[in-house]
Amino acid sequence: MTEPKVVASRYANSVDRRRLWQAAIKWPMYAVAVMPVLLAAGWRLGQALPVRFDQLLLFLLAAVLLLAWENLANDVFDADTGVDADGKPHSVVNLTGRRDRVAGLANGCLLLGLALMALVAWRSSPAVLALVLACCGLGYLYQGPPFRLGYRGLGEPLCWLAFGPLATAAGLLALAPAGASGVPWRIALALGSGPALATTLVLFCSHFHQVDEDAAHGKRSPVVHLGTAAASGLVPWFVAGCLALQWAPVLLGQWPLTALLGVIGLPPARQLIALLQRHHGEPGRISGSKFLALRFQALNGLGLALGLALGRFTG
């Protein structure tokens, strides 16, 4: 296979190269990896249940490594289809020109992340590793050959499943006392559904600025299917759905009022809605929309986790 050229060489000064590498690393994106177990920790603290903080730290590190695998592997898979050839100078494959080394690094992150998750599972429940493997399988189905379900517009439901009930259930089991029996599906579904919808919004918003490139290479994302105008009209529904799924347990008396702290994510959500409503068809002006979605996801999830933890002091 022909190696891609080094796109970074087009940029002569170090400031531009540094900016591209910052975009390639995508460090804000790791908020989506750590959120399920932070929510699990907040829920257990709010219920006055013990939290195994050593397990929490191991799970966080493993989750970051596994998301690094997914990000790097997606760059490799997109390089194979050519979808990133011109429109994504911050692809790690484009920046380095070494598909083989990026693939090797991705596989290394996967193996190390799974090894840490295996340790977490050994110290808690075997179901933890099974649930995480299911999440990784969904991640591969998203971009990996021959499936490439993301190219068929199915990335968003896969994202919700992986970062919602599956990852949240794994986090709940990892923090529980060793030998806990049964997967806590009911709690995981209630706890993870809303925040996972916010995570799904991040993926949804990542398509807006690259509609032409995606369509040209056969990547039929939801935004390509709907068009940018109709797709931008769905963004308020993502936000409303996320908050509704978090507020319903409060209204039903299942969660404390402090769980409403998730509303601290509303300001970036409002900015995101306004930006896409006004400029949905202007790629240059909306390239940062996914980072507004990330800010909403991170603040909303952290607010909910903190609110659930504080519930034990207000009940």
Q: What is the pLDDT of residues 73-85, one digit of tens each?
A: 888 887 777 655 5
pLDDT in tens, 173-186: 999 998 777 899 99
Q: Which of 205, 211, 213, 98 is nearest to 156 (CA)?
A: 205
Q: What is the per-residue pLDDT for 51?
A: 93
Q: Is 2 left (phi over 0), alpha (psi -120 to 50) or beta?
A: beta
For residue 68, give the 3-state DSSP assignment: helix
Domain definitions of the chain by residue range: 7-314
Residue 199 has pLDDT above 90, yes or no: yes
Q: What is the per-residue pLDDT for 117?
A: 97
Task: Say which residue, 135 or 179, is predicted with more confidence.
Answer: 135
What's the whole-model pTM score? 0.89
Report yes or no: 42 and 103 within 8 Å, Cβ to Cβ: no
295-298: Cβ within 8 A, 24+ apart? 295/28, 295/265, 295/268, 296/198, 296/201, 296/239, 296/265, 296/266, 296/268, 296/269, 296/272, 297/31, 297/32, 297/35, 297/195, 297/198, 297/199, 297/201, 297/202, 297/265, 298/28, 298/31, 298/35, 298/265
Span of 85-94, 154-163, 185-194 with lowest mean pLDDT:
85-94
pLDDT in tens, 26-35: 667 889 999 9
